[in-house]
Structure 1
Amino acid sequence: MPYHDGLERRQAALIQMIESAILLASLVLAPLPFFAPIAPVGQIAIVLLILSVAVVAAVSLALLRSGRAQESVVLLSVALVLLQSIMLYGSTLEQGALPMFAFGLPITMAGLVAGRRGLVLVLLVSMAGVSAAVLLERSGAPGAGFASSQEINISSAIISFAVIASLIALFVDRIGLMMRDALATQRVRERELESLSRRLEATVRERTADLEMALGSLEMRAAEQDRLLAENSLQQQAIRELSVPVLPISATTLVMPLVGSLDGERLLVVQDRALEAIERASARRLLLDITGVPLVDSYVAQGLIRTLQAARLLGTEVALVGVRPEVAQSIVGLGLDLSGMRTYADLQSALRYSTEQHA
């Protein structure tokens, strides 16, 4: 049967068992009217009604196997209600105790399996059938009492009651068993879900603790990185200052020996250090020693000239020391104007001139 859910499969199996039991009971009860003290016409009518129920039960089984469980139950329940209504009309109210009792089977089936709409439909059909049978009988309609016994048939009544009561009991028992099993399964699932929830909570707590530890480690690494960057910045600043030292040789004269290649960044450091030293020492003269600079090109020369001009604005004389022949040729070849700057071949000459000036 095309039912994928476990509960639906169990319900379909229950419906199949009940409908098969009704089909079998119909076939078993079909010959009984011939042994009852009923008129031949009534016997044939009752047999045809019972066989029609068997046919409807077979159709309901086919619907059930096609995946239409509720339609199957509603069809069989309505057919049973119509059969019992006709039997009530044919038995009259005086002998209608058994047909009235039999109404409990389709109503119970519809209520437990067919859903609320199916139950309401079967209940309305039952009320309409009973009302129609009673009103037709009281109005003297033709055919009323066609199934009434000419004398009391105890065995037939007992067998019919036993079959109907057994079907109702079997159906209720199976439904109750299925509901108890479903409840037990639900409780097991609830316990499994509760256990899973506890495991998930524990996992979440562990992951949260791990994340907090990782976050703390990252924060420590970030703080350490910031500290290292700050130290690196201080070290770079110290290196820049050491790479451009300013040495006082007298109260008014400073010497700035430059070593290595001069790029744009170092030229800015040279200018900043020179101006800071001049302002701090109130120097009157600054000697820029480029003996250790391997190359003086246009860019370097222009940077030195800017330092000269900035120092002059502070009232300080700047002299260029260490001008080698190749440096002089390079400066002349570049066409730079150094007329406002004193130049010396070496630091000794510059210091001698400074001493003579003070003498």
Structure 2
Amino acid sequence: MTIFVTGGAGFIGSNFVLDWFAQSNETVINLDRLTYAGNLQSLARLEGQSAHIFVRGNIGDAALTTQLLAQYQPRAVVNFAAESHVDRSIHGPEDFIQTNIVGTFHLLESVRAYWNGLEDEAKAGFRFLHVSTDEVYGSLGKGDAAFSETHRYEPNSPYSASKAASDHLVRAYHHTYGLPVLTTNCSNNYGPYHFPEKLIPLMIVNALAGKPLPVYGDGQQIRDWLYVKDHCSAIRRVLEAGQLGEVYNVGGWNEKPNIEIVHTVCGLLDELRPRSDGKSYQEQITFVTDRPGHDRRYAIDARKLERELGWKPAETFETGIRKTVQWYLDNQDWVKAVQTGSYRDWVEQNYSRRSA
């Protein structure tokens, strides 16, 4: 038995692949373009493992995906492949349109042709699981109910709009062609192997380097935080027992403003790796100009997933964030390796123009 994972060298994808092999010996075909956020070092422990077959390529390459599907005959496709950073989508939206919309379309077409050619039993058991985001739902007010699976789509950034479009394509391929799809919409992930452009790893990396900790606006933007390994377990559960055509929201039940996240990270670093001058890392916090159209609040209602499939997160935010900070302290070689020249150029581009 084989599964086909796209984007399996990225943050969530690599954690999923690693956790998959911790639970199963089933072969994984791992397709990843290896853009700036894809990193084979995240999968280093699988080196030499014959059940992990890595292929460098793009989900928009229909000839390649068609070939891989025919060659390996997977029972499922799990689609993580996406451009996924709001700030980058503001600076350069075209990559997001090409990967998240056009790429998903080409992948769906390849998968549809493959699925149509399967024998009855294999065809009935096949699944296409599309991994998406809560950002497709837009922004919530302070007293609004959390996002449910029936919440109206109101994306506010080029990134979230491109993911919303991909969600609609997946849904349409189920309703039009009968393709057996499942969709998950997750809240903000954090944990090991997170590329240090996102909030939590950026705060850790900058704090240790003695650099400013840039916080957008007033820091009161609220997100629901989900430990990445909990997300991986939710995806495995949906793949195993999810109802075809259904959407499942995956959240951590941890709504917190960004500034509280930064204070928590600083407190853990004060405890685990104190500054040499004895001062708190909080002194490095710098409030900077907010990004355009910054959504104020996201919150996930994950009760459907718990009610129907029996899933709920294993980690609290307190346990998950401690594990995350410790991982970054213990894996400085990985951090240094991903901080390439292009990464430094991006950080300079995004933050240098924002006045304190």
TM bucket by the smaller chain?
under 0.3
More strand per residue = 2
- Give the number of the structure with larger relative contact order, counting CA–CA contacts within 8 Å between residues 6 or more apart: 2
- Give the TM-score normalised by structure 1: 0.23
